[in-house]
Chain A
Amino acid sequence: MSLASNVPEGDLKEKWTKRLNDINLVAPNNKRLYNVIVVGTGLAGASAAASLAELGYNVQSFCIQDSARRAHSIAAQGGINAAKNYPNDGDTIWRLFYDTIKGGDYRSRESNVYRLAEISNEIIDQAVAQGVPFAREYGGLLANRSFGGAQVSRTFYARGQTGQQLLLGAYQAFMKEIDSGKIDYYPRHEMLDLVVHNGKARGIVTRDLVSGEIRRHTADAVLLCTGGYGNAYYLSTNAKNSNVTAAWRCHKRGAYFANPCYVQIHPTCIPQSGDYQSKLTLMSESLRNDGRVWVPKDKNDERHPNDIPEEERDYYLERKYPSFGNLVPRDVASRNAKYVTDEGRGVGETGKAVYLDFADAIERRGRDYIEEKYGNLFEMYHKITDENPYERPMRIFPAVHYTMGGLWVDYNLMSNIPGLFVLGEANFSDHGGNRLGASALMQGLADGYFVIPYTLGDYLGGEDLDQVEGNEEAFEEAENYAQEHIDKLLNVEGDKTVVEFHQELGKIMWDKVGISRDEEGLKEAIKEIQELRDEFWERVRVPGESANYNKYLEFAGRVADFLELGELMAKDALHREESAGCHFREEYQTEEGEALRNDEEFSYVAAFEYQGLNGEIQHELHKENLEFEFVELKQRSYK
């Protein structure tokens, strides 16, 4: 079956205007008659909740953390793109659109990406008006910097804390609406299920993470803004509470999961130092501008890096990609780091790292220059590893960072379940097979501030929604299911901890559904995940009780979902017999070792419909064919 993406007809540049001209509107004084649930308070959720409340809708907002301000978006470092062309270097909306489509390796929907580029400028205006302290020039105007995958400077930033400042801007707008009484705020609440009544999303079931109480919430529409699922790998740059639970439970209620195998792995992270490691820390990509990546030529060379002479070092990126060198795109850099460490040439105590060496840059440009440019990153590295990167090369390694896949949505950001909208990293929409730096923040805010306020109105204004009270059968059933699931987790009373299972899953995912994949590995992974899932339900030990604050119970629920999602990711990766963006299949590469797309057969969005779990996940694949009317498909090369 082919999926209807609901994209307006006409020229690319006219589509969004056309949609805006045609949508149904809800009269101002009728908006207060509608209830909207917004799950998540990251950039997508907070901006959506604030904008909708401002319009007059009654909003109920949920998040896991104790405050909306702590949503994972807070951690984004580098910046946010917009086609303002302030540096006058020739940027246009088209160019931003084009870079994003190309960066995504032609696996995203043209119309969505164009709209994103169109809206980008308004986001900056909005953020500045809210008091977001972006970096400025001495003249008082906004400053820009350049980021990977683009030849123009279009990234707006607030030191290394852009996500924090943008989120606080949205959070403050959100707080204002709480003050005005338009948002009911539920922090420390986890969504456990979606309620689909008469074929439409009409509410959710949540667990109060403090009291453990399971509750029903009714609404006319549900907005899912719950972020990405990178924590399926256990170790990632995501925050510890990032999860797939909300999206996965919607999936089980009928929402299609699109392109689950598209996972971005960031090349410059601080490597793992031991089994106890609980998360990985990202170091800005900008380090590769001055650092040189190398490993020893010989295996298991245990000498101090400074004692390894020049001729016994392998600057493998410079060797393999003479023209781009250390600045190859994220996926290429990550993959090559994996290759050299797999060969046994990795460095550090775990052997899972490569050197990023600044000795040349320090000698050439002076320590002051490096300090000025990367001082805070060097400090962070020093703090975490206790090694001084001015004196010995940094150790870096790739880490899971962002998930392009997510719930399938149409042009209006509505999933295939009417009334369920999905925003931000939780949807699959704009980044195709690979996301460019500084574009996730852009997308989250575009969705929340500038798309959903219109498309939600279109849905509500065009539907005849009956009244729901919360005592309908669908609510009853969902609540019971949530409670049973929890009881089941608590009743296994096995001998292995939730963390152990999560670590094991993470290892399978990293080794076999990670930076590069092949058929054999994926098949093994599927089997191993199934076995691990069975073992989980026999041996997991969840401490404590359900009627109290219980972090390990929360984690248990999330790991249970990752154990299902992991299988779907592997299956998607197995079925996609091509390499595209971050999905690299060993079998499908060019002679130069680059990702080899198969546009004939795989130029589609793979949207999976859940059909039950019976030892393995049953699903049906729906395809949304990607038509490229306005750009020409090309092969990437970075030689």
Chain B
Amino acid sequence: MSNDNMQFDLKIWKQEDGDSQGAFQEYHMEGVSEDMSFLEMLDLLNEKLIKNGDEPVEFDYDCREGICGACSLVVNGIAHGPKEETPVCELYMREFEDGQEIVIEPWRAAAFPVIKDLVVDRSAFDRIMAAGGYISTKTGSAPEANTIAVDKEDADKAFDYATCIGCGACVAACPNSSASLFTGAKISHLSLLPQGKHERKERAVRMVEQMEKEGFGDCSNHAECEAVCPVGISISAIARMRKEYMRAVTES
């Protein structure tokens, strides 16, 4: 039988909106099953709060199966919590000790302002993508799909980088709040494919510039980002980004 009555002391960041000061609030939770996901535990907390006439805790999520990248909680100091290659929506309460204190905070970065409680604004990521994170094709003008063969190895590597779910944990965990892993992942994905090679210089330069404009920090090679990335994007993405950028500025 699984344990259905775990207890936790939660310490959660509450903030009315972007302009207000926030503070931690403490909640005692009982009746938590070890088979609950972390987010279901928070759902349960909210059900209790609402019934009591209190304000629920706001947090972001959608798919709850690790693919949309919406969930974004720092759990006990680690973005997405303690289980490796696991976003917080796939984290289960059995990973915690009964009776433990759990501190829950939003992603912290100037480029990700808090909207409410644990919800942050990650639109900076969209703007980095808009600055070149694409291959220009006109609908309807694409050549037959098999006209250009792609080495399986390149295709597989490109895929590994392409699996980034855009969650922002890399930024949240990076001591410098750098978005290099996210940006590098897209630059790497596209530069590995023959279709993406034509725009590679401009893409690298514009995306790097945009990343800076959005207020993300420098990369100091801490590699914390790789460790928390729920899909295990390697920091080789950052290396490739640097290479693409240097190539763009040195080759004319």
Which residues of A are in contact with B by a Cβ distance under 8 Å? Answer: 47, 50-51, 54, 65-70, 72, 74-75, 84, 86, 122, 124-131, 133-142, 158-159, 161, 164-165, 168, 171-173, 175-176, 178-179, 185, 187, 210, 239-241, 273-274, 276-279, 281-282, 349, 383-386, 449-450, 453, 495, 497, 499-500, 541, 543-544, 548-552
Which residues of B are in contact with A by a Cβ distance under 8 Å? Answer: 1-2, 4, 16-17, 33-37, 39-40, 43-44, 46-47, 49-51, 53-56, 58, 60-65, 67-70, 86, 90, 92, 94, 115-116, 119, 121-123, 125-126, 129-140, 142-146, 148-152, 155-156, 158-159, 162-163, 165-166, 189-190, 193, 195-196
In the complex the two chains form, what is the Cα distance from A50 to B140 in whole Å?
A: 12
Chain B residues near A158: list those with CB within 8 A.
159, 162
Min CB distance, A318 to chain B, in Å?
A: 30
Identify A67's interface contact among B158, B166, B195, CB under 8 A. B166
The 8 closest A-B pairs by CB, nearest first: A140-B149, A172-B134, A129-B142, A133-B159, A125-B142, A549-B116, A129-B137, A51-B139
Whether the pair A164, B43 counts as a contact (CB closer than 8 A) is: no
Whether the pair B190, A187 counts as a contact (CB closer than 8 A) is: no
Whether the pair A239, B51 counts as a contact (CB closer than 8 A) is: no
Whether the pair B155, A136 counts as a contact (CB closer than 8 A) is: yes
Chain A residues near B47: list those with CB within 8 A.
497, 499-500
Whether the pair B119, A549 counts as a contact (CB closer than 8 A) is: yes
Count: A-B pairs, CB below 8 Å: 222
In the complex the two chains form, what is the Cα distance from A383 to B95 in whole Å?
A: 11
Chain A residues near B58: list those with CB within 8 A.
549-551
In the complex the two chains form, what is the Cα distance from A585 to B184 in whole Å?
A: 53
Chain B residues near A134: list those with CB within 8 A.
155
Whether the pair B139, A453 counts as a contact (CB closer than 8 A) is: yes
Whether the pair B65, A126 counts as a contact (CB closer than 8 A) is: no
Chain A residues near B132: list those with CB within 8 A.
179
Identify B65's interface contact among A175, A179, A281, CB under 8 A. A281
Whether the pair A386, B70 counts as a contact (CB closer than 8 A) is: no
Whether the pair A70, B137 counts as a contact (CB closer than 8 A) is: no
Identify B90's interface contact among A278, A383, A497, CB under 8 A. A383
Chain B residues near A450: list those with CB within 8 A.
139-140
Chain B residues near A495: list those with CB within 8 A.
51
Given contacts A54-B138, A67-B122, A274-B33, contact A279 B65 (CB under 8 A): yes
Whether the pair B123, A70 counts as a contact (CB closer than 8 A) is: no
Q: Residue on A with the closest CB to B57?
A: A551
In the complex the two chains form, what is the Cα distance from A548 to B17 in whole Å?
A: 8
Whether the pair A179, B131 counts as a contact (CB closer than 8 A) is: yes
Chain B residues near A127: list those with CB within 8 A.
145
Q: Residue on B with the closest CB to A124?
A: B145
Min CB distance, A189 to chain B, in Å?
A: 12
Given contacts A130-B134, A239-B62, A552-B50, contact A543 B16 (CB under 8 A): no
Identify B130's interface contact among A159, A161, A175, CB under 8 A. A175
Q: Given contacts A131-B158, A133-B162, A551-B56, could you give 5 more A-B pairs where the C-beta distance is less than 8 Å? A: A69-B129, A126-B139, A131-B135, A136-B152, A175-B130
Given contacts A175-B130, A176-B134, A240-B62, contact A548 B139 (CB under 8 A): no
In the complex the two chains form, what is the Cα distance from A530 to B155 in whole Å?
A: 53
Chain A residues near B16: list those with CB within 8 A.
548
Chain B residues near A172: list those with CB within 8 A.
129, 133-135
Chain A residues near B135: list those with CB within 8 A.
129-131, 172
In the complex the two chains form, what is the Cα distance from A600 to B220 in whole Å?
A: 72
Chain B residues near A500: list those with CB within 8 A.
47
Whether the pair B152, A128 counts as a contact (CB closer than 8 A) is: no
In the complex the two chains form, what is the Cα distance from A497 to B92 in whole Å?
A: 24
In the complex the two chains form, what is the Cα distance from A212 to B148 in whole Å?
A: 49
Q: Residue on B with the closest CB to A66?
A: B122
Residue of A128, A131, A158, A210 with highest tally of chain B CB at under 10 A: A131
Whether the pair A175, B134 counts as a contact (CB closer than 8 A) is: yes
Whether the pair A141, B126 counts as a contact (CB closer than 8 A) is: no
Identify B137's interface contact among A136, A159, A173, CB under 8 A. A173
Identify B125's interface contact among A67, A125, A497, CB under 8 A. A67
In the complex the two chains form, what is the Cα distance from A274 to B92 in whole Å?
A: 13
In the complex the two chains form, what is the Cα distance from A456 to B143 in whole Å?
A: 25
Chain B residues near A164: list those with CB within 8 A.
67, 163, 165
7 residue pairs bridging A and B, Cβ less than 8 Å apart: A66-B121, A67-B125, A129-B195, A138-B152, A171-B129, A276-B36, A548-B17
In the complex the two chains form, what is the Cα distance from A140 to B154 in whole Å?
A: 9
Whether the pair A175, B150 counts as a contact (CB closer than 8 A) is: no
Q: Residue on A with the closest CB to B122?
A: A66
Identify A74's interface contact among B67, B94, B134, CB under 8 A. B67
Given contacts A125-B145, A129-B137, A161-B67, contact A277 B162 (CB under 8 A): no
Whether the pair A497, B51 counts as a contact (CB closer than 8 A) is: yes
Residue of A136, A178, A450 with highest tally of chain B CB at under 10 A: A136
Identify B43's interface contact among A138, A142, A179, A276, CB under 8 A. A276
Given contacts A129-B135, A129-B137, A133-B159, contact A72 B63 (CB under 8 A): yes
In the complex the two chains form, what is the Cα distance from A277 to B30 in whole Å?
A: 17
Chain A residues near B136: list those with CB within 8 A.
176
In the complex the two chains form, what is the Cα distance from A172 to B132 in whole Å?
A: 9
Chain A residues near B37: list those with CB within 8 A.
278
Residue of B65, B69, B116, B139 with highest tally of chain A CB at under 10 A: B139
In the complex the two chains form, what is the Cα distance from A305 to B165 in whole Å?
A: 37
In the complex the two chains form, what is the Cα distance from A72 to B132 in whole Å?
A: 24
Chain B residues near A497: list those with CB within 8 A.
47, 50-51
Min CB distance, A16 to chain B, in Å?
A: 14
In the complex the two chains form, what is the Cα distance from A175 to B49 in whole Å?
A: 39
Residue of B37, B133, B143, B145 with highest tally of chain A CB at under 10 A: B145
Q: Residue on B with the closest CB to A453?
A: B139
In the complex the two chains form, what is the Cα distance from A247 to B27 in whole Å?
A: 39
Whether the pair A384, B90 counts as a contact (CB closer than 8 A) is: yes
Chain A residues near B143: list those with CB within 8 A.
125, 129
Identify A548's interface contact among B90, B116, B155, CB under 8 A. B116
Min CB distance, A378 to chain B, in Å?
A: 15
Chain B residues near A54: list those with CB within 8 A.
138-139
Whether the pair A142, B146 counts as a contact (CB closer than 8 A) is: yes
Residue of A84, A240, A241 with highest tally of chain B CB at under 10 A: A240
Min CB distance, A298 to chain B, in Å?
A: 21
Min CB distance, A538 to chain B, in Å?
A: 16
In the complex the two chains form, what is the Cα distance from A65 to B58 in whole Å?
A: 14
Whether the pair A75, B65 counts as a contact (CB closer than 8 A) is: yes
Q: Residue on A with the closest CB to B144?
A: A125
In the complex the two chains form, what is the Cα distance from A20 to B148 in whole Å?
A: 29
Whether the pair A75, B159 counts as a contact (CB closer than 8 A) is: no
Min CB distance, B43 to chain A, in Å?
A: 6
In the complex the two chains form, what is the Cα distance from A51 to B150 in whole Å?
A: 26
Min CB distance, A442 to chain B, in Å?
A: 14
Identify A139's interface contact among B149, B158, B163, CB under 8 A. B149
Chain A residues near B17: list those with CB within 8 A.
548-549
In the complex the two chains form, what is the Cα distance from A183 to B143 in whole Å?
A: 26
Given contacts A161-B163, A386-B92, contact A142 B60 (CB under 8 A): no
Whether the pair B55, A140 counts as a contact (CB closer than 8 A) is: no
Min CB distance, A441 to chain B, in Å?
A: 14
Chain A residues near B129: list those with CB within 8 A.
69, 171-172, 175
Given contacts A122-B142, A129-B143, A210-B115, contact A74 B68 (CB under 8 A): yes
Q: Residue on A with the closest CB to B134?
A: A172
Chain A residues near B64: list those with CB within 8 A.
239-240, 278-279, 281
Q: Residue on A with the closest CB to B1?
A: A349
Whether the pair A131, B196 counts as a contact (CB closer than 8 A) is: yes
In the complex the two chains form, what is the Cα distance from A128 to B141 in whole Å?
A: 12
Chain B residues near A279: list those with CB within 8 A.
64-65
Q: Residue on B with the closest CB to A185?
A: B126
In the complex the two chains form, what is the Cα distance from A187 to B129 in whole Å?
A: 15
Whether the pair B51, A75 counts as a contact (CB closer than 8 A) is: no
In the complex the two chains form, what is the Cα distance from A448 to B226 in whole Å?
A: 35
